[in-house]
Amino acid sequence: MTQLQTNTTSSTTPNTNQAGPSGHHLSATDAVSASEELLEIARLRAADSGLAYTGALYPLEAWSLVEAGVATLVDVRTAEERKFVGQVPGSLHVAWQTGTALIKNPRFLRELENKTGGKDSIVVLLCRSGKRSAAAAEAAAKAGFTQVYNVLEGFEGDLDSQNQRGDVGGWRYWNLPWQQD
């Protein structure tokens, strides 16, 4: 049984009639402008941190871009993590590592390019905490992907004081759409 958990609304038409943070609807021009601003902030964040890929987004920023139809969300976790921990509806899956031994997927870059429409597409990578997706983003950038972004905090966030995830940031923490089998 699939359970969808969300506190946001989704538009079926990209970049039109998008609700802004205050709940007011944005024109198509305003939505594009807001998306361009988020991408610029992400690029500056990456540059300030000396990252080797295009940009770094927080979960709410990433969802805003995906919901507006500006970016493609790619989950780089294992198939097992997606099944048992949960996944973002509509996200693509290209595992950075596979199996319980987390062996690097030798087809990662080829699969990423094929599933996202090419190396110039705006691609947002998500993993459990943002660490594997950062490594995947770095590899993609080195391979010529020009618009690859990492989701900081990941799907589950960082460990808390009790070594558990879910209470310190992450996609689920921010009540963004997700489902679990």
Supply the pLDDT for residue 30.
66
- Give per-residue pLDDT as tens, 49-108: 999 999 999 999 999 999 999 999 999 999 999 999 999 999 999 999 988 888 999 999
Q: What is the CATH number of domain 25-180?
A: 3.40.250.10
- Give per-residue pLDDT as tens, 110-152: 999 999 999 999 999 999 999 999 999 999 999 999 999 999 9
Which residue is it, tokens 């198509």?
28
Q: Is the predicted pLDDT of residue 155 greater than 90, yes or no? A: yes
Burial of 155 (0-12, 13-18, 19+ CB in 10 A): buried
Supply the pLDDT for residue 181.
80
Pairing of strands 25-26, 72-75: unpaired
Categorize the per-residue pLDDT at 8 as very low, low, confident or very high, splitting at 50, 70 and 90: very low
Supply the pLDDT for residue 25.
52
Beta bridge partners of 151: 57
Supply the pLDDT for residue 162.
86
**Entry pTM:** 0.83
Supply the pLDDT for residue 29.
64
Which one, of 111, 73, 123, 81, lies nearest residue 98 by Cα? 81
